[in-house]
Amino acid sequence: MRKLPVLLLCAFLPASAMAWEATLSVDYVMSDGDSRITAKAHALEALRVKASERTETYIQTSTTLSDTDDLSKTIEVIGASMVEIRDYRQEFHLSDEGRSLLTATATVSVDESELRNRIDAIQRDEEKQRMINQLALENTRLRARLLETRSRTGAPPRWGYRDLLSALKKNRSNVNVIFERGTLIEMASNSRSLIEAAKRSIGRNVLSPLENAVIKSAVTRVQPVGANYEVWINVWWNANMDAIEEELSNWFHVEREYRYLRVSNPSFHREAPFSHAKPLFGWLVRQQIMLHAAIEGAGAKIPIFYAAHDFGESCGPRPDAIGQRALRNPDDVVICIPDPDHIGERFIGVNRPTPLRLRLSKSQAVRATSVDTEIRVEPL
């Protein structure tokens, strides 16, 4: 914890700090994906940010302080939770470039004396400082996502305006909870709610689509091996890797490689965008999904969502380093999701060749008429 800079903040707050108010205006350039409702929501958020930035004029420290950026983020997330907006007015018109423009004006106010009390409370309470730092990190991530949606044209992305603005509102509510009685109990409850919401989102946008993926299979070769036959099977399943990456990037550090997505362990990548990434990862890493293929009782399976030992540059090149075996060292585990369009001749991460090769007896080969395939969730 960095106590010194927080201590210095109080010296820059005037002793007579009281609630102040001002009339502020913002211009919001509407994109093709904006409606008047989403434009208003963005304008209100912009007014809140502008007001919280005004708050920082009371707490500016010397530019020689190395932690100035971190302090600004901390004060911004506290100040934004305290902004009150009233007398909101808006006007839609065209900019000089012909773009739709929303000009929003409102009276905003921030209670500076309460801000000082909260800074004093953070100085006294290390746990409050830790939680505020987490929320500041989460706030930065949400604002970055909001700016990203503003820069896009066309339809809003799946992780869209309403979700982002709702998450920012939730973040501000959590800041207020920190300074209330029963903080730890309330924060624990809020943390559980956030984690459960994240699980539902990942289940809906990642696990369920994989579990219900369409599978295609084809026998490419049959060759005798002694008294038996070896059957080669190509398998493919439909997976929207862009959508999966987008969803998981909301919660974790994700690396996109040619043949797979690799979800990093929050124990090492502490810059994960979700403040509760570690317990969420602990749940997700056990949600193994397997693709099964069989002919007349002879079968094989390959993982399409699995835990692997982190070898640094791959998703675990050995079959004995995935699944339950990988969990023996939980801090060295990553999550791997192969891309079915680029699995190549060897299944990356499990060292199993594709096509799959099944050994059938002569009687099995005579009876064989089709390949049975199935995808199963097999939690570890």
| Average pLDDT rounded to a whole number, residues 104-117 | 78
- Supply the mean pLDDT for the chain: 73
State the average pLDDT over residues 301-317: 72
Q: Which of 2-6, 177-181, 258-262 has the highest mean pLDDT?
A: 258-262
pTM over 0.85: no
How much is the average pLDDT of 16-27? Answer: 72
Q: What is the 3-state secondary structure (H, E, C) of the chain?
A: CCHHHHHHHHHCCCCCCCEEEEEEEEEEECCCCCCHHHHHHHHHHHHHHHHHHHHHHHCCCCCCCCCHHHHHHHHHHHHHHHCEEEEEEEEEEECCCCCEEEEEEEEEEEEHHHHHHHHHHHHHCHHHHHHHHHHHHHHHHHHHHHHHHHHCCCCCCCCCHHHHHHHHHHHHHHHHHHCCCCHHHHHHHHHHHHHHHHHHHHHHHHHHHHHCCCEEEEEEEEEEECCEEEEEEEEEECCCHHHHHHHHHCCCCEEECCCEEEECCCCCCCCCCCCCHHHHHHHHCCCCEEEEEEECCEEEEEEEEEEEECCCCCCCCCHHHEHHHHHHCHHHEEEEEECHHHCCCEECCCCEECCEEEEECHHHHHHCCCCEEEEEECCC
Q: Tokens in use for 374? A: 């199935």
Query: How many percent of the chain have pLDDT more than 70?
Result: 68
- pLDDT tens-digit readout, 331-344: 778 888 988 877 65
User: For the ranges 47-51, 121-125, 248-252, which has the lowest average pLDDT?
Assistant: 121-125
Q: How confident is the model at residue 153 (pLDDT cuts 50, 70, 90)?
A: very low
Q: State the pLDDT confidence band at 10, using cuts at 50, 70 and 90.
A: very low
Q: Which of the residue ranges 154-158, 165-169, 231-235 would you say has the lowest mean pLDDT?
A: 154-158
pLDDT over threshold 60, residue 26: yes
- pLDDT at residue 205 tops 70: yes
Residue 150 — pLDDT band, cuts 50, 70, 90?
low
- What integer pLDDT is reported at residue 5 of this predicted model? 34
Asked whether residue 74 carries a pLDDT value surpassing 80, the answer given is: no
Predicted pLDDT of residue 351: 47
Report whether pLDDT(253) > 70. Answer: yes
The confidence band for 73, taking pLDDT boundaries of 50, 70 and 90, is low
Q: Which residues contact 371 (CB under 8 A, 6 or more apart)?
A: 217, 218, 219, 233, 293, 294, 295
